[in-house]
């Protein structure tokens, strides 16, 4: 596309008689020291893109813009994934706190049972100490969980662009992580990975580097340009914008780096080196994408299986814990055996709560690995 410009001026100058020009001009009849100048010009220039340097440069700039836009999208997806990860960590911590609080209540109730049995002469002072120790242990499990909950809540607030504590009240309502959405896609995994922002950015940088090679090679050939000027110039306002003050100019320009081919070759070599680097980074981004998707899907599948196994374990452990307490009250089992079953049940329930949250986080990882949606 041609470039154009419009310029104009109105000037009034008084010539010095002591200057070289003033001394010469003052000797001519009719010389006037004060002069006016009125000028209005419209100019246009057009660089003929015979070698394609301008076209290649424009295409490279477009590709670099697209790479920057892909990077911006990648940041948005990353922030969204981090926010979802923090949310599921919060729900996991809340579920574990609820279990720990339930265990405190259960330990206190067991302590009351032991004290009643002590009054009846069926328990010993040592068993009272064991029950009290178990209650203290249950209470000691709460502070670390509350610290983790507070940390993740503040993290989510910051990721949402709010001050820490903004969403604490809303997040305290309910502690269910929800159901992990099924991940079923109709497109191939390769097509999905190509939609990842990092892969798109790497591919666009590769395309830009290829265009830069062509732009550098175009310097071997001459640059041609056309220019034109049309306007008015007059020493007085009366004759301005008349046919007598009309001026026109046209030109053809040639620029060729005849004795600079060594530098041109070096610039081409530099562009080719940048292209090779961009190609390596593109290949790396694809391999990283394959690795991320494989790891995320494997983690999701294994965590789902682990969640099913833990559900069966918790169900069996709850029955074992109930039977052990009944047997203790009947004098068949010792308190130590009841406490053992109690610890096993809590460990299974706590692990199940963690795995349930990890399963949801794994789904987020798959979402992120596949480019943030499909």
Could you give the domains of the chain?
53-221+280-322+331-370 (1.20.1600.10)
Tell me the pTM.
0.77
Among 121-130, 148-157, 160-169, top mean pLDDT goes to 148-157
CB neighbour list of residue 305: distance below 8 Å, 6 or more residues apart: none
**Residue 121, pLDDT above cutoff 60:** yes
**Residue 170, pLDDT above cutoff 70:** yes
Reported as a pLDDT band with limits 50, 70 and 90, residue 236 is confident
- Tell me the average pLDDT across 105-116: 90
**Residue 175, pLDDT above cutoff 60:** no
Q: What is the pLDDT of residue 210?
A: 96
Q: Which of 358, 313, 304, 302 is nearest to 88 (CA)?
A: 358
Phi, psi of 37 (to 5 degrees): -145, 125
Reported as a pLDDT band with limits 50, 70 and 90, residue 156 is very high
Reported as a pLDDT band with limits 50, 70 and 90, residue 232 is confident
pLDDT, tens digit, for every residue of 183-209?
A: 655 556 667 777 899 999 999 999 999
Token reading at 331? 């004098």
pLDDT, tens digit, for every residue of 14-40?
A: 777 777 777 777 777 777 777 778 888
Torsion of CA 277, 278, 284, 288, to 10 degrees: 150
- Tell me the average pLDDT across 70-74: 93
């Amino acid at each position: 596309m041609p470039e154009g410009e419009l310029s104009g001026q109105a000037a009034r100058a008084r010539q010095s008689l002591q200057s070289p020009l003033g001394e010469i001009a003052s000797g001519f009849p009719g010389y006037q020291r004060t002069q006016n100048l009125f000028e209005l010009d419209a100019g246009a220039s057009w660089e003929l893109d015979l070698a394609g340097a301008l076209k290649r440069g424009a295409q490279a700039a477009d590709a670099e813009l697209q790479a920057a836009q892909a990077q911006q999208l990648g940041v948005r997806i990353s922030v969204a994934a981090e926010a979802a990860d923090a949310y599921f960590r919060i729900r996991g911590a809340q579920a574990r706190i609820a279990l720990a609080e339930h265990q405190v209540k259960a330990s206190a109730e067991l302590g009351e049972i032991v004290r009643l049995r002590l009054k009846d002469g069926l328990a010993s002072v040592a068993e009272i100490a064991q029950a009290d120790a178990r209650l203290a242990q249950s209470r000691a499990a709460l502070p670390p969980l509350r610290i983790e909950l507070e940390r993740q809540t503040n993290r989510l607030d910051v990721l949402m662009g709010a001050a820490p504590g903004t969403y604490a009240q809303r997040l305290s309502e309910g502690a269910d992580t929800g159901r992990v959405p099924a991940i079923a896609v109709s497109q191939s995994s390769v097509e999905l990975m190509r939609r990842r922002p990092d892969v798109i950015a790497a591919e666009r940088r590769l395309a830009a580097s290829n265009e830069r090679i062509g732009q550098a090679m175009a310097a071997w050939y001459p640059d041609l340009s056309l220019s034109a000027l049309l306007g008015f110039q007059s020493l007085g306002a009366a004759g301005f914008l008349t046919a007598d003050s009309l001026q026109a100019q046209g030109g053809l320009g040639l620029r060729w780096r005849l004795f600079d081919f060594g530098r041109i070759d070096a610039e081409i070599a530099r562009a080719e080196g940048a292209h090779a680097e961009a190609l390596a980074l593109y290949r790396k981004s694809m391999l990283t994408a394959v690795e991320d998707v494989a790891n995320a899907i494997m983690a999701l599948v294994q965590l789902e299986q682990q969640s099913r196994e833990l559900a069966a374990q918790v169900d069996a452990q709850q029955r074992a814990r109930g039977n052990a307490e009944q047997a203790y009250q009947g004098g068949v089992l010792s308190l130590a055996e009841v406490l053992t079953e109690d610890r096993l049940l809590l460990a299974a329930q706590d692990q199940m709560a963690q795995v349930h949250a990890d399963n949801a986080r794994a789904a987020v990882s798959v979402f992120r690995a596949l480019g943030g949606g499909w």
